Every structure is written in structure tokens, then in C-alpha cells.
Structure 1
């Protein structure tokens, strides 16, 4: 395919989609716009886009495909702006937001004018942000949800998939309502719970300073998603209000059940509660990307002596294995520590495990 693609929002997702399109469709011409001049300059320097424009209007009117890679509230504003422009006949507009009901509803102003809008949500991400973190492999084997209006033509949906086939993602076509329920359960609720756990720990730490020290290990890991953008999650929760209010009420009932088991000292019910959760969790797919970015962590048992971190990273450098984060958990004071190394992909993590085994006798663990 060839044509002009206009990417609004040159962050991780917008930049990665641009790279995927350039790779699969080398005849295409990628135009970019971002409110950050730094992102625009970086996008051009890294070859993510071919050209930048000073305004949305300048980039939109000649585009064959427009990708809205912005926060959901900003996406609503841009949709209204686009509906007032003389867009090219046959243009397809899509977004990448993690809520769909309100977005698709707002896009009705485009649809009423004969413009094709197909809601989209690539269910992949990274712990890094910005166009400098963009990569072509970001969406590989991830689910990419499309939420077209019922009257959208099949050939229009297929045209968008063709544009995006370089993502190597698994495309699923569902309704906006189903999308918001699914993401509410597996993405939005976990973020709320993780954030609430951090708030609870913070409150307790005001009367017990050991909370902060002890939270540096497993607690910090299970609440990692609470470090996401506050502005983004504010807007997501307000957009998916109805779904989340029901889910939160259901969660409250679930906690009431646990409270009841504990009060009554009902050991068998508590055991069954944890056993059922374990069984369900253990059956979840392991090698598949989902709504929340996976953490590819490798745990390395290391002796506590100066230079051990540079020793391990030196082994990885020999094999040109990139890491995204590194830290030490001191679980056995003055004996051993656990070095936690994070990687961008599961493949890198497995290579690192083999590398460390080849150069040393340090034990490594991958938690399931």
C-alpha cells in the first residue's frame, strides 16, 4: 500500500505504529504532529516520520490514514476538529485509546459526514515512554482490538488491517461496549487496585516507618502499574465510568466475602478461595501479550561484594543483551542478595539466563 499517513501524537504507540507502517509499506509517506517540539525533532532524527507539520489541519487534509495517538480526552477534541476539515475522500481515521465507548460515540460526527472512523486499541506497551522508545516489534503477537460501528464496510476494516499488518498483531473485531468491559476487568481494575494498595501502604507508613523499607521488594513489584501516568488514568476512569462503577461494586462484594471468611475463621473457605484463584491464574496464557505490559524480570542470586553488578552486566554486554532496569533485593542480610534485571522481551530474558549460566555459577529464576 502507498499513501500519506498522518500520526497525531509521536509517543511510544504512535511512533511504533509509524515504524511498523514504514517497514511493511515502504512506499507510504509518514507525516507527524505532536505538541512537543522535542518529540517531533526526535521523530525525524530517528526516521520515525518523513515530515512534520505545524498543525493538525495541515497534516489531516491530505492524509489517506489518520492515527490519533493521544490521551482520550485530547482524542475527543481532535475528532471534533477533524469533522470540520475538508478531509480527503476515502480517508480512514483510527485511534489507539484504551476506552472505546465514548470515543466511538464522539466520532459519530465524522461518520455522519461520510468519514470512516474505526476505533482501535493495540494491547501492548512498555515501561518506557516517548518516541525514543518506539520500536517496530512492540505489537508483535499482541492483541489489537478494533471497534468499528455496525455500518462500517468490511473492506474498510480490512483496509485498516492492511495498513497495520506490519505490527504482526492479532486483530480482533468487537463492539465498543464489549471492549470497555474487557479492558475494565483486565486492565483498568488492576490499576485501581494497585494504586489503592499504594495509598494504604502510604497511610500505614505514617505510623510505622518499617512499611516503606519492607515495601521495596515484592510489594513494589506487584504495584508497578501504579506508576503509570496519573492524567491518563484519570481520563480512562472517567471515560469508562459505568463499567468501572459496576466492577468496583462487585469488588466490594468480593472483599466483603473475604472479610466474612476471616471473621468466622472459616479455614476451609479461605483455603478454597486461594486455591481457586491459584488454579485460574496458573491456567492463564504465559507467552501471550495482554492489556498490561508484561514484566520480563530475571532474578539472579548474587554474593554481596563490590563489583558484582558490573560483573553481571559485563556478561550481558558481551552478548549484546540490552536491559531496561536493574536493582538489588537484600533478602538475606550479609549473605546473598537478589539482583533483579528487567528486559524488553522474553527472548532477551532467556538469552540473559543462558549467558549468566555460561559465565558464572550464579543461580537464576524466572517467576511465573
Structure 2
């Protein structure tokens, strides 16, 4: 008899996990989502095999339950699952970006003898929805698991086996460790990016020229400010304590920078940027981290009719898929006027090699 996986929430992440499990195991996948159109699309795309009319209906049949929902909604789903007569051997996991509060809520399940292991696959895409789901989305990405102290090694290994098709790198952390680390390298940078955009928006009210200038590098370094407002509202509220500490440290850091500028201390300013450059340049390039990587390739093209279509035609003939294309109006220190974005590093590398064969100069910004 086939085992059953129940996926609650059929977006990019939930759909990709379903596909990753499917490519490893011959199982039955049941899906549930409050959006009925999304459920229908998931069935059409064969992401799921059947749908459930309610969380209870799908949960009672499941050997594995994956909650793929915003963190505040995840808490409510855990409360619902705690009232359901579940299979005693079932494993429940989530995909939330914060863990401490969710693990606390999961005590409702642990008290019933049900295994809950927090999860956070640290990968994403510039596209959203189940139509963008891919089995390979998590390949080489970190997939953090936060089991409770009572969770056996056997159950952790069992969940890893279920998720083996993701081809992710599993990392075991405590909920506190997870929230502190992801707060620093993911949550806090999103706050900074949004704040930078707000600052420029205020300047734009007085001088609209700033919007044209911001179309270049500024727009690129603040890309993550375009993330889901609902998701980031929930994350900030869930990771309140860590983020308040980080914001306090950031204020102290900015005071240090203000002091260097005020004192006209050129040597201190130079070393400030040098140390930042050295640390940043030493970070791994190939690994996926907390913030999804952008696989961009800058192409120097002549300004004449058809130049862009020539580039895209070359790549199309080689069956290299482009996820985004943008003309760079303000080049700053970046060579090239065309920025092509790819799904992964392999596609970008192949595109660079093919374009080089056609005498195009390309550049990858490290």
C-alpha cells in the first residue's frame, strides 16, 4: 500500500517539496489550500495526486504532513492538527522562516505523542505560485531542521529520508540558533533593504530625478525589498526579540560611521570598507544561502535594432532558459547594458560560454 504525504499550502515551496518527494518515492500526495484555483492547478500540473476538502480529511490519512504556509497561519494549522486523530507514526514539519514560536506552539502535538520537526528550506525563486514549483529548487541549498529535545534520532533520519529528493544540505539547529542566525543574515537585511527604499522614496517626493538614477545599482541591491509584505510582517513579529537586538547593534554601527565621517578620519573609513570587502569576498560563492542567489550575466551589446533579439535567439537555440531580462540604463561600474537572469549557476555558465563563442563580452558581478 502506498504511503501518503499531505501538503498544506500549494505555493512555490509546498509544490516544490511535493515534486521533490515524488521523484524519490512512489507515493500518494494529497494537497490542501484555501485557494481552490491553486488546488486545481496543482492537480493539473501533477504536483499532487488528489485534493482534500479540509485539513482534517487530509491529515488522518497521512504518514507525513508538510505545512507550507506563512508562520502565523502555521500556528493556527498546528492548533487544528492537535484536535485530529492522527496516525501515531506520522511526522509533521513546516517550512517557516522562524522557528522558536512555532516550536512552542508544536508542544500541543508533542503532548499527544505526535512528532513535529521544524523545517526551513533556505531556497526560493523570483517566481511564485505552484506553477513555478520545481523538484530541483532546493538542490545544494541548506535545509534547516529544528527538532525538539524529545525527538528521537530515528524520526529525524526518517524525515531526512522523506526529503532526500530535495538534494539539500541538512543542518540541525535549535530553534533559538535558527532564529538568531537567520535573523542576522536574512531577516535583518530585508529590513535594511526596505528602509533604503523608504529613504529614496522620501527624496523622490522632492526630486523625481532620483527615481531615474535609482534604476541602476540601487534597484539591484534592494531587490529583496520586493518580497511578500505579508510574509515579512509575520517574520518580524515572530522574530521580534532577535531583530530588536540587531536593530540596536545597527544603530550603534551607524553611530560609529557617523563619528568617522564627522572626524574626517580617512584612515578609519578606508579600513571600514576594506574589512567589509575582505569578509564579503571570503564568503562562499557557489553555495546557496539564506537569501536566494541571483544568477545574473551582464552582456555588452551594441545599440542598434535587433541587438537584444540576437542575444536571446542564440540562447534559445541552445535551449538555455532566461528567467528575466533588463536593459541597464545607468551602468555605473558595471560593464554591459543587458542583464540576463538565469535559474541556476549551470545555465548562467553555459550562456556565458555560448555568447563568448559569438564574440559577445560578458561580465559576472561577484
TM-score normalised per structure 2: 0.98
Give the conservation status (yes or no) of the 8 Å contact 1:83–1:109. yes
Give the conservation status (yes or no) of the 8 Å contact 2:52–2:58. yes
- Where in structure 2 are the equivalents of 1:10-25 lying within 5 Å? 10-25=10-25
Moved over 3 A (4+): none
**For residues 99 and 60 of structure 1, what CA distance do their matches in structure 2 show?**
23
Question: Does 1:338 pair with 2:346?
Answer: no
C-alpha distance after superposition, 1:297-334 (max 9, x if no partner): 0000111111111111100100000011101112479x
* 3-state secondary structure, aligned to 1:70: coil
Aligned to 1:362: 360
The number of residue pairs the alignment matches comes to 364
Offset of residue 125 of structure 1: 0.5
**For residues 294 and 35 of structure 1, what CA distance do their matches in structure 2 show?**
30
Aligned to 2:204: 205
Give the conservation status (yes or no) of the 8 Å contact 2:67–2:93. yes
- Aligned CA RMSD, in angstroms, stands at 1.3
Question: Does 1:190 pair with 2:189?
Answer: yes
Aligned to 2:174: 175
Aligned to 1:147: 146
Aligned to 2:111: 112
Give the conservation status (yes or no) of the 8 Å contact 2:90–2:115. yes
- Where in structure 2 are the equivalents of 1:245-284 lying within 5 Å? 245-284=244-283
Give the conservation status (yes or no) of the 8 Å contact 2:299–2:361. yes
**For residues 277 and 40 of structure 2, what CA distance do their matches in structure 1 show?**
48
Aligned to 1:82: 81
**For residues 106 and 331 of structure 2, what CA distance do their matches in structure 1 show?**
56
**For residues 347 and 304 of structure 2, what CA distance do their matches in structure 1 show?**
26
* 3-state secondary structure, aligned to 1:67: strand
Q: Which runs of 5+ in 1 are unaligned?
A: none
Give the conservation status (yes or no) of the 8 Å contact 1:330–1:337. no
Question: Does 1:3 pair with 2:13?
Answer: no
Give the conservation status (yes or no) of the 8 Å contact 2:32–2:39. yes
Q: Which runs of 5+ in 2 are unaligned?
A: none
Change (3 A) 1:2 1:182: farther
TM-score normalised per structure 1: 0.97
* 3-state secondary structure, aligned to 1:20: helix
Give the conservation status (yes or no) of the 8 Å contact 2:215–2:330. no
Question: Does 1:55 pair with 2:54?
Answer: yes
Change (3 A) 1:64 1:332: closer
* 3-state secondary structure, aligned to 1:330: coil
Aligned to 1:348: 347
**For residues 134 and 357 of structure 2, what CA distance do their matches in structure 1 show?**
29
Aligned to 1:307: 306
More deviation, 299-308/100-109: 299-308
C-alpha distance after superposition, 1:35-61 (max 9, x if no partner): 111211111111111111111111001
Give the conservation status (yes or no) of the 8 Å contact 2:124–2:292. yes
